């Protein structure tokens, strides 16, 4: 980590934020926060926004573009996360 804060864009999941940072609402007021490292929702369905509640796992949320845009119709039916190749490296 080089800066004061670090944001990890979790595959198929939230944005994990750790380090020194301010979390503000649209009104500029601090969002009440009880833990040092937080996970911010990016699938849109969390019931505790701006925080993640794990629901992205139930809706098949994906952070990678679907494979189906290659013109290969077989891929179009491939079910999302199980058949998608794992991410190489870290």
Nearer to other proteins, 28 or 86 (CB): 86
CB of 2 to other proteins, least distance (A): 16
Tokens (6 digits) for 69: 């845009």
DSSP code at position 22: -
Which residues of the chain form contacts with other proteins (CB under 8 A)?
A: 8, 10-14, 16, 18, 34-39, 47-48, 51-55, 57-58, 81-82, 86-90
- In angstroms, the CA 18 to CA 51 distance is 13
CB of 87 to other proteins, least distance (A): 4
CB of 35 to other proteins, least distance (A): 5
CB 15 within 8 A of CB 39: yes
Length of the chain equals: 90
Helices (H), the chain: 73-76, 80-83
């Amino acid at each position: 980590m080089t800066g004061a804060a670090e944001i990890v864009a979790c595959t198929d999941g939230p944005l994990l934020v750790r380090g020194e940072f301010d979390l503000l609402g649209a009104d500029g007021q601090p969002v009440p926060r009880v833990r040092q490292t937080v996970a911010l929702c990016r699938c849109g369905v969390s019931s505790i926004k701006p925080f993640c509640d794990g629901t992205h796992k139930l809706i098949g949320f994906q952070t990678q573009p679907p494979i189906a845009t290659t013109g290969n119709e077989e891929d179009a039916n491939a079910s999302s996360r199980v058949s998608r190749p794992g991410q190489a490296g870290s």
